[in-house]
Amino acid sequence: MSAILKVENLNKAFKDKLVIDNISFEVNQGEIMAILGPNGAGKSTTIRNIMGILYPDEGKITFSNYSDNTIPRHKIGYLPEERGLYKNVNVMDILLYLAELKDYPLDRAKQRALHYLKKFDLEGKEKVSIDELSKGMGQKVQFIASVIHEPELLILDEPFSGLDPVSQELFKQEIRQLADNGTAILLSSHQMNLVEEMADRLFMIHRGQKVIYGDMDAVKTKFANFKCTIHGDNQIKELEQLPNVQRVEQANGHHIIYLQKDIQPVWWLKQLPDQLDVRELRLDRISLHEIFIDIATDKKLMQEAGASYA
Amino acid sequence: MRNSMKVAKWEIKRNLKNKTFIIGMVLTPLFIIGFMFLGELFGGDDEEAETTTVFIHDQLNLFSEIAATVESNNLPWQVQQTDLTKEEAKKEIKDTEHTAYLFIDEESLKEGIIPTYTSEEVDSSFINQAQILTAPIQAWQMKELGLSDEQLAIVSRGIQVKEAADSPAAAEKTEEATEESADAPLERIVPGAFAGFIMLSIVFTGMAIFQSASQEKKDKIAEIILSSLTPNDLMQGKIIGYFVLGILQSFVSLAIVLPVLSWRLEIAFLDYLFVPELALYILIAILGYLMFASIFVGVGATMTDVSSAGNFQGMVMMLPFLPFIFIAPVLNDPNGFMAQLGTYIPFTSPGVLLLRLSNLEEWPWIEIIISLVILVISIWIFVKLAGKIFKVGILMYGKNATPAEIWKWIRM
């Protein structure tokens, strides 16, 4: 897989505040690369720097196949976080205008527009004015606009925000299919469950700095330790005595036991004492969602895990 | 530039497909014509009502002279002879409208007063108009007194104090007089007015840039558009697009207004229009547009929507109306201080220049060149500033920028 986009040592400050601090990553052809982080972490700023809407203070952004330091805008599809469409124009007009801005042949654009409208359940809506569409329909049109010119690199900033589950599923499938067909996709999102399902690699950013970067499975194995949730009437002290326990959290009627790295799940289960009150028991890995929350709330759970293991 | 043209094309297409714009485009000239006719309608009414029937009780056989004087002075009178006495006339007049009785006899000449009875609804200027009758009556009086025709001519010529023709002041006045009487003014005024009209109509259409730029923010499409082109491309595209729309508006207006105007005023406008001066006028009009357009597009990008425009933005919108302050002083004295001042202020210079040049025989070329240079430099500066403001402002959603913020962007 070749890197379509390379970001190296990116720095950006607003006034004296460093918003992006020495960030580097790549997006490869045919992969979905997720950029994650809490609000204000610097995701959209990073993306705006890539799109040339903002200019980095330091660092290098390169697009492979385009060595002359210009942004190949016509080869990039972009769905910004803050998005909308002109209100008083019809769907086909705006799609063709945006395709024209990308220098994409109009007859092909028209074909693709009709194809996508049909796919997204908007068949026959091409002559309808944008302000007559529902919010969800509008978002579909925005998505079509970002892919109508067959981009090599597709940048999606919070593509799922405000979508109903059905449309979410539709977008997910379409994004996956685009990646399978060779499009490089940079996706920013809050919705961890979706990212976890979709992304091949991820870059987690907090306060402008890199926290995690790597292959989704590797990240999960590396950072996502096992945790055991037990519903029952037990004492927290007792649970803390169990082997390989990092810490225990008590919630309404259940305890969550965070385990150290690299335990053998079956072996560990066998260590549970007979007198333990178990009405329900679950053993699973810490989800991306929890890692995300930890980072956002500065619990530094993962570092603890690493430190105690080291 | 290619991208700018795409944006321009889009703005044109979007507006031409917009019913509001089309209706506005056709309604504008119709309003102009409507107001023109409204004036004439009222004016015409008054004139017809003014015709007064004047009965003359003439014992001196002066009726034919009086009728001739009325005719030659174009008075709205219908003169008739009458034999009624004063008492009868007084009665008669109570039941009639727009009627007057004049009693010209030996007695009135002796007293030097011609008794006049008018009905209630007689034109207020009737008595003033009637003063004109004193001339033929006095002439008759002098003849009666025994003056010969020659003597009569000398007396009636009167005496006048007049500056000698070779005094410098007199020479200047003669020049002015010929200037006013000759055909020349129409040759300058028609193209001047034409260019002024074009400028006003493209500047006013250009005000839509304001809305267009802030709409871009309101609809949150700015960032999508900017993923395909640079802010400068977008800004230039808008300026070009609205220029074309403005020109279109001008031509639609002229196509409707000019024929009506030619018909009513019986002036062959086209004969006066295509003179070399027109080129300069049009250049001034276009420069004026470019300046205001760049200001509008920049400031438009600082607002979320037109209805929430702050004081600062509102003031900027008033800028194109600034030249109107100069109309009276410039017409009074096209070379006066106010006229020169207006020529050198960028915001007023296009309007004032057009007004002055249309009213001047000798063009002040040095002033014209200086003001054009000022104008071009201002445009250059405003385009640069607008570019900076536009670049940041267009992506700032949700609130209007304050002048302090705008100043910060400019210094960035």
Instruction: Note the residue count of chain B.
Output: 412
Q: Residue A309: is its pLDDT beyond 60?
A: no
pLDDT class for B162, splitting at 50, 70, 90?
Answer: low
How far is the C-alpha of B201 from the C-alpha of B292, rounded, in Å?
12
CA of B123 to nearest chain A CA: how many angstroms apart?
Answer: 58
Q: Residue A304: is its pLDDT beyond 60?
A: no
Residues A198 and A142 in one domain: yes
The answer to whether residue A94 is domain-embedded is: yes
Place of tokens 């207004």: B257
Select the highest-mean-pLDDT range: B102-116, B311-325, B335-349. Answer: B335-349
- Annotate B212-223 with DSSP letters as a single string: HHHHHHHTT-HH
- A187 SS3 class: strand
The answer to whether residue A308 is domain-embedded is: no
pLDDT class for A279, splitting at 50, 70, 90?
Answer: very high
For the beta sheet containing A245-251, the strands, ordered from the edge strand earlier in sequence to the opposite edge, are: A245-251, A254-259, A226-231, A280-285
Q: What is the pLDDT of residues A55-98, one digit of tens each?
A: 888 888 888 877 667 788 888 999 988 888 888 889 999 999 99
Q: What is the DSSP letter of A99?
A: H
Residues A231 and A147 in one domain: no
A53–B228 C-beta distance less than 8 A = no
Residues A150 and A278 in one domain: no
Residues A87 and A34 in one domain: yes
Residue B393: its chain A contacts at CB < 8 A? Answer: none
pLDDT class for B351, splitting at 50, 70, 90?
Answer: confident
**Could you tell me the CA-to-CA distances from B341 to A2, B15, B289 in Å, in that order?**
66, 38, 20
**Structure token pair of residue A71:** 């942004």
The answer to whether residue A299 is domain-embedded is: no
Half-sphere exposure of A157 (CA within 13 A, CB side): 21
**Structure token pair of residue A246:** 């990092």
pLDDT, mean of residues B115-135: 78
How far is the C-alpha of A224 from the C-alpha of A302, rounded, in Å?
8
pLDDT, mean of residues A31-45: 87
Residue of A nearest to B234 (CA): A101
Q: Residue A4: is its pLDDT beyond 90?
A: no
**Could you tell me the CA-to-CA distances from A285 to A191, A210, B37 in Å, in that order?**
18, 22, 85
How far is the C-alpha of A14 from the C-alpha of A217, rounded, in Å?
35
Q: Residue B173: is its pLDDT beyond 60?
A: no
Residues A77 and A101 in one domain: yes
What is the pLDDT, as a whole number, of residue A300?
55
Residues A27 and A174 in one domain: yes
The answer to whether residue A179 is domain-embedded is: yes
Among candidates B24, B33, B15, which has minimal Cα distance to B201? Answer: B24
Residues A160 and A277 in one domain: no
What's phi and psi for B169, nearest 5 deg?
A: -60, -40
Q: Residue A241: is its pLDDT beyond 50?
A: yes
Question: Which element (helix H / strand E) includes A155?
Answer: strand A153-157
Give B74: exposed, middle or buried? Use CB within 10 Å, 0-12, 13-18, 19+: exposed
Q: Which CATH architecture has domain B50-159?
A: 3-Layer(aba) Sandwich (3.40)
What is the pLDDT, as a whole number, of residue B182?
43
Place of tokens 């492979």: A64
Q: What is the DSSP letter of B18?
A: -
- Count of domains in chain A? 2
Amino acid identity, position B7: V
Which residues are bridge partners to A12 per DSSP? A20
* Neighbouring residues of B272: CB distance < 8 A, sequence distance ≥ 6: B186, B187, B189, B190, B191
The residue that leads in pLDDT, B146 or A8, is A8
Residue of A nearest to B408 (CA): A15
Residues A255 and A275 in one domain: yes
The most distant pair of C-alpha atoms in chain A lies apart, rounded to whole Å, by 73
What is the pLDDT, as a whole number, of residue B180?
42
Residues A41 and A86 in one domain: yes
CA of B10 to nearest chain A CA: how many angstroms apart?
Answer: 7
Among candidates A291, A74, A93, A25, which has minimal Cα distance to B17? Answer: A93
Question: Which element (helix H / strand E) includes A140?
Answer: helix A135-147
What is the pLDDT, as a whole number, of residue B40?
65
In chain B, % of residues over pLDDT 90: 3
What is the pLDDT, as a whole number, of residue B172?
47
The residue that leads in pLDDT, A109 or B114, is A109
Residue B227: its chain A contacts at CB < 8 A? Answer: 51, 53, 73, 76, 78, 80
CA of B15 to nearest chain A CA: how many angstroms apart?
Answer: 10
Residue A109: its chain B contacts at CB < 8 A? Answer: none
Q: Residue A51: is its pLDDT beyond 70?
A: yes
Residues A259 and A227: beta-carbon distance below 8 Å: yes
Q: Which of B77-91, B152-166, B289-303 has the lowest mean pLDDT?
A: B152-166
Q: Residue B143: is its pLDDT beyond 90?
A: no
pLDDT class for A268, splitting at 50, 70, 90?
Answer: very high
What is the pLDDT, as a whole number, of residue B181?
40
Buried/exposed code over A159-171 (b: 16+ C-beta within 10 A; e: otherwise): bbeebeeebbebb
Considering only the beta carbons, identify the residue of A74, A88, A97 that sits closest to B10. Answer: A97
> For the CA atoms of chain B, what is the radius of gyration?
32
Domain ranges of chain B: 50-159, 184-411
What is the pLDDT, as a whole number, of residue B185?
65
Q: Residue A156: is its pLDDT beyond 90?
A: yes
pLDDT class for A247, splitting at 50, 70, 90?
Answer: confident
Task: Give the CATH number for residue A247.
Answer: 3.30.70
Residues A232 and A208 in one domain: no
Residue A89: its chain B contacts at CB < 8 A? Answer: 14, 17
The answer to whether residue A292 is domain-embedded is: no
pLDDT class for B389, splitting at 50, 70, 90?
Answer: confident
How far is the C-alpha of B247 from the C-alpha of B130, rounded, in Å?
53
* Neighbouring residues of A285: CB distance < 8 A, sequence distance ≥ 6: A220, A224, A225, A226, A227
The most distant pair of C-alpha atoms in chain B lies apart, rounded to whole Å, by 101
Residue of B nearest to A130 (CA): B219
Considering only the beta carbons, identify the residue of A78, A87, A89 that sits closest to B224. Answer: A78
What is the pLDDT, as a whole number, of residue A68?
67
**Could you tell me the CA-to-CA distances from B185 to A142, B192, B272, B275, B281 in Å, in that order?**
58, 10, 10, 12, 15
A89–B14 C-beta distance less than 8 A = yes
How far is the C-alpha of A135 from the C-alpha of A43, rounded, in Å?
24
CA of A127 to nearest chain B CA: how many angstroms apart?
Answer: 13
pTM over 0.90: no
pLDDT class for B8, splitting at 50, 70, 90?
Answer: very high
Residues A10 and A136 in one domain: yes
Q: What is the pLDDT of residues B278-302, one digit of tens each?
A: 888 888 888 888 888 888 888 888 8
Considering only the beta carbons, identify the residue of B6, B14, B17 that sits closest to A101. Answer: B6
What is the pLDDT, as a whole number, of residue B386?
85
Q: What is the pLDDT of residues B227-262, one digit of tens each?
A: 888 888 888 898 889 888 888 888 888 888 888 877
Q: Going by DSSP bridges, is the β-strand pair A153-157/A76-79 parallel, antiparallel, or unpaired?
A: parallel
* Mutation target among B228, B229, B232, B395 for the A interface, most CBs of A within 10 A: B228
Q: Residue B356: is its pLDDT beyond 80?
A: yes
Domain hosting residue A272, numbered range: 225-285
Q: Residue A52: is its pLDDT beyond 90?
A: no
Residues A63 and A192 in one domain: yes
The per-type count for chain B, helices as H runs and strands as E runs, is: 20, 4
Among candidates B52, B382, B334, which has minimal Cα distance to B188? Answer: B334
* Mutation target among B9, B212, B223, B392 for the A interface, most CBs of A within 10 A: B223
Residue A45: its chain B contacts at CB < 8 A? Answer: none
The answer to whether residue A213 is domain-embedded is: yes
Q: What is the DSSP letter of B306?
A: G
How far is the C-alpha of A185 from the C-alpha of A200, rounded, in Å?
10
Task: Give the CATH number for residue A24.
Answer: 3.40.50.300
What is the pLDDT, as a whole number, of residue A142?
92
Q: What is the pLDDT of residues A185-197, one digit of tens each?
A: 999 987 788 888 8
Q: Which of A39-53, B17-31, B196-210 has the lowest mean pLDDT?
A: B196-210
Place of tokens 């400028």: B199
Mean pLDDT of chain B: 79
How far is the C-alpha of B257 from the C-alpha of B32, rounded, in Å?
7
